[in-house]
Structure 1
Amino acid sequence: MAKTQSRFICQNCGAEYRKWTGHCDACDAWNTIEEERVEAGPKATGAITTGPRGKPLDFVALEGQSARPPRIITGITELDRACGGGLVPGSALLVGGDPGIGKSTIMLQAVGVLAARHKCAYISGEEAVDQVRMRAARLGLEKSKVDFAAATSLRDIISTLEQSNHEVVIIDSIQTMYADTLDSAPGTVSQVRACALELIRLAKRKGFAVILVGHVTKEGQIAGPRVLEHMVDTVLYFEGERGHQFRILRAVKNRFGATDEIGVFEMGDTGLVEVPNPSALFLADRDAPVSGTAVFAGLEGTRPMLVEIQALVAQSALASPRRAVVGGDSARLNMILAVLDARCGLPLSQFDVYLNVAGGLRVGEPAADLAVAAALISAVANTPVPAETVIVGEIGLSGEIRPVGQTEARLKEAAKLGFVNAYVPKQGQSAKKKLTIKGLKQVEIVHLQDLINLFGQDIGDKVRPREGMY
């Protein structure tokens, strides 16, 4: 009879300890270490070379032709885009997101469409049959030929899938699955790792695509061991704010396609509706130009996307003025403020600065620096950016404006939406020919001071501290 041993494992990162401690040294988390009981396997009696000889490996050359993996088209264009063109048979896909963001909804919509052409199974460990039926009726999918089951026992699920011929299997969620070979609660590191490994191994052996729905921690990371993301072929994060109707499905890992690809959805009464032109949707509420706003030509994966960046500069009565950023990078905002002060003589240290990316989208690429600076300067000068103007460029520490990648794709998207002006960096000597976009007038910005001059020469007088303020 195998002996049962106790070990203490961090539920956040999977680190193991010989005894309980309140602090995990690996991930710096508190109160995440729990005791788990496992059966000790037989101890090794010697080196591996003393046992039976293994069979020799067949080495091959890297040069050669390999067939591209076939794809299972879900019929939801934005989901297929995020997956790299569809689901790959025999692959494992992990979908994570905040509670209530729409993970179960988009998965049910996907299998509802796929069931017309492929044999699909949906296994839920969180909801009962009646709950899923109510959601299917709300989405108009009650007549879809989807094989549904509510189960949490990994042994029962494996036995069922062994005898079936499903092409797509969805597990909602992996944290609720339970392997009876482990003496630990569902959702622990050991359970999540063991259940995911068995499901992925079965999917690769039988050739069906398995989609694992995962919970996330309060920091936004997928709950459970980090090795779970290494085990799967594709990792998708469902992003969005509860106050906005937009949902972003972002690929952060994809062995069969590009990373950082996104799909855009809009939450409605009948579920998630895909948005084929997110630029027009993010800019739909723009009226007449107002000060403190600028349109940035961004790039998400291979998709150009135009978003509005808003800035507010207000006199502060505090010793340490506020710096609030929603949807952007606070470190880059501080850098831009420092460059405006040191290189352009525009001191904003005594002001509260608020920055917001409209629509709930998150922008992190350096190409947004020039648009952020334009919004700040526009707010200080109380002068709107010229109408129908798009801005893109990276700011260096010396104040120079550096070129960005795929400028042509960004500007073509702006011209398609009716923009007529563009503030862009000066093209370097490596450019083979001058970039021209029909209907779009380009203004080259060499230094950040050139952008300030477009708003007037008296901006510095508007940011001087008030007399007797301190």
Structure 2
Amino acid sequence: MAKAKTQYVCVQCGGVSPKWQGQCPHCQAWNSLTETSVQSANPRFATWAAQTTTVQNLSEVEAQEVPRTSSGLSELDRVLGGGIVAGAVVLIGGDPGIGKSTLLLQAIAQIGLDRKALYVSGEESAQQIALRASRLAVNPVGVRLLAEIRLESILNTLQQELPNVAVIDSIQTLYSDQISSAPGSVSQVRECAAQLTRIAKQTGMTILLVGHVTKDGSIAGPRVLEHIVDTVLYFEGDNHSSYRMIRAIKNRFGAANELGVFAMTDKGLKGVSNPSAIFLSSYRDDVAGSCVLVTQEGSRPLLVEIQALVDDAHGFAPKRLCVGLEQNRLSMLLAVLHRHAGVACFDQDVFLNAVGGVKIMEPAADLAVILAMQSSHRNWPLPQKMVVFGEVGLSGEVRPVTRGQERLKEALKLGFEKAIIPKANLPRNLEEFSGMQIIGVDLLQEAVDYCR
């Protein structure tokens, strides 16, 4: 019997190599080649190709608003851009046990009250899902259930049932008869995702895919999986905390980097309408090393407490640790703090933390991080009821950030009385912020001098 032909495919770029190598010759990624079987060409996409439309001028295409349907969960609708879009394919990834299946079961139960809904489970039996639905106290009357991992059977069921919304839990457990490799391999995940996307576009049904994640937090399988789908959502959270955050990394029908916040209860996930109160729950007055930042997550401004601890180093090399903030930016901010504010931390251990488990990646956190570090280093508590935001450059200038007035309005609504912001972000109409003292600064030294 002839030996099956194999090739090695890069999970990052999809490049093909005839033999295994430690580094992908196409994208230079290390240890990214996986072995897959070479399949002969077959006409499984012939029907889809035959139904493609003719070429037309872009000016002749009529632009229409995309109709949306509520998922029944306001925070999920916010991240999706306003609701579920017909024909969209959504990929939701997250750590094991974070609550992906719970979230989608609650959503599909709400959708099934007035629309056709199908839940396909490849990881749990029908009895296990029924037990979860009973524990969550959801109404499962309108939800159709299928426990299957064979792709061809799932496609036949989708064509027969024609649901408005279908959940596939999860994409890594499915396998196709066309591919001889095991479920979860690069070729299986790519083939199953392509076939499900095809039927979603043909019929107009919305498909929600659950994806496993690797140890570095990215969705398992080929990188092309995130390119195939319309929306990529990441479900984040600390297992020791009851709060979960869902973030949009890619969204063809809405804004990326949108954030939704849920609280995990004994009855499932509940949306949090005012997440700023969570991230400020442990904020105390007159504490050195604490500064409140107004960050922007998509269209939502959030107030987050930034904590810094600067202490004498007792080892050979001072420690630098960030939790929830960008690690590589800390060294740059320490150098700026030394050069332009005269605060030397070369012999100090520096620890930073964003309270509440939120991850902040925008540069608008620079000014709050620097003020928190100098406050801890000199043991000077910052003024009470004060918020800070602004990007800091290498020459010590404080640069403006986007949506400055929305950030100030959120802080004013929560009772803050002072704000240090970039001078370019000063509002034109100060009467809207009559209850707040707003200080605009051009240089880092001005912000540090004010906090003394």
Aligned-partner Cα distance in 1 for 2:8–2:397: 53
Post-superposition offset of 1:284: 2.0
For residues 371 and 93 of structure 2, the distance between their equivalents in structure 1, rounded to whole angstroms, comes to 35
Counterpart of 1:333? Answer: 330
5 Å-filtered alignment, 1:177-188, equals 177-188=174-185
What CA distance in whole angstroms lies between the structure 1 residues aligned with 2:409 and 2:64?
Answer: 34
Q: Distance in 1 between matches of 2:64 and 2:447?
A: 51
Q: Is the 8 A contact 1:4 1:40 kept in 2?
A: no
Shift of 1:348: 0.9
2:35 is the alignment partner of 1:35: yes
Q: Root-mean-square deviation (CA), in Å?
A: 2.4
Q: Which residue, out of 410, 413, 417, partners 1:416?
A: 413
SS at match of 1:110: helix
Q: What corresponds to 1:165 in structure 2?
A: 162
- Residue 10 of structure 1, CA deviation: 3.9
Give the equivalent residue in structure 2 for 1:383: 380
- Pairing 1:115–2:104 present: no
Spell out, residue by residue over 1:389-411, the C-alpha distance to the aligned partner (whole angstroms, 9 max, x if none): 11111111111211111110000
Instruction: State the percentage of identical aligned residues.
Output: 46
The Cα offsets for residues 114-140 of structure 1, whole Å up to 9 and x where unpaired, read as: 111111000010111121111111111
Q: What SS does the aligned partner of 2:58 have?
A: coil
Structure 1: 5+ residue stretches without partners: 43-53, 457-470
Match of 1:239 among 214, 236, 240: 236
Q: What is the Cα deviation at residue 28 of structure 1?
A: 3.1
The equivalences for 1:66-465 within 5 A come to 66-141=63-138, 143-427=140-424, 436-456=432-452
Q: Determine the C-alpha separation between the residues in 2 that align with 1:63 and 1:391.
A: 48
Q: Is the 8 A contact 2:425 2:440 kept in 1?
A: no
Shift of 1:56: 9.8
Say which SS state the counterpart of residue 359 (structure 1) adopts.
coil
* Match status 1:17 vs 2:54: no
Q: Distance in 2 between matches of 1:435 and 1:404?
A: 21
SS of residue matched to 1:59: coil
8 Å CA contact 1:427–1:434 kept in 2: the answer is: no
Q: Alpha-carbon deviations, 1:335-362, whole Å to 9, x = none? A: 1110111122211111000000000001
1:203 & 1:55 partners in 2: Cα distance?
14
Mapped partners of 1:163, 1:438: distance in 2? 62
Q: Secondary structure at the match of 1:427?
A: helix
Report the CA distance between 1:301 and its aligned residue: 0.2
Counterpart contact for 1:133–1:142, Cα < 8 Å: no
Q: Secondary structure at the match of 2:91?
A: strand
- Tell me if structure 2 keeps the 8 A contact 1:12–1:223: no
Moved more, 185-194 or 57-66: 57-66
Could you tell me how far apart the structure 1 residues matched to 2:61 and 2:16 are?
A: 43
Distance in 1 between residues matched to 2:200 and 2:68, nearest whole Å: 15
Contact (CA 8 Å) 2:36, 2:186: kept in 1 or not?
A: no
- Aligned equivalents of 1:64, 1:162: Cα separation in 2: 29
Distance apart, 1:19 and its partner CA: 2.1
Residue 33 of structure 1 deviates from its aligned partner by: 3.9
Is the contact between residue 326 and residue 355 of structure 1 (CA under 8 Å) also seen in structure 2? yes
Residue aligned with 1:175, SS: helix
Structure showing greater Rg: 1
Aligned length: 444
- 1:95·1:237 contact (CA, 8 Å) conserved in 2? yes
Give, in angstroms, the shift of residue 388 of structure 1.
Answer: 0.8
On the 8 A contact 2:11/2:223 being kept in 1, the answer is no
CA distance in structure 2 between the partners assigned to 1:267 and 1:302 by the alignment:
23
Q: Is the 8 A contact 1:173 1:214 kept in 2?
A: yes
What is the one-letter code of the residue matched to 2:29?
Answer: D
Contact 1:82/1:251 (8 A) holds in 2: yes
Alpha-carbon offset, residue 172 of structure 1: 0.4
Write the distance in 1 (CA, Å) between the matches of 2:5 and 2:65.
46
Whether the aligned pair in 2 keeps the contact of 1:72 and 1:86 (CA below 8 Å) is yes
2:13–2:223 Cα contact (<8 Å) kept:
yes
SS at match of 1:410: helix
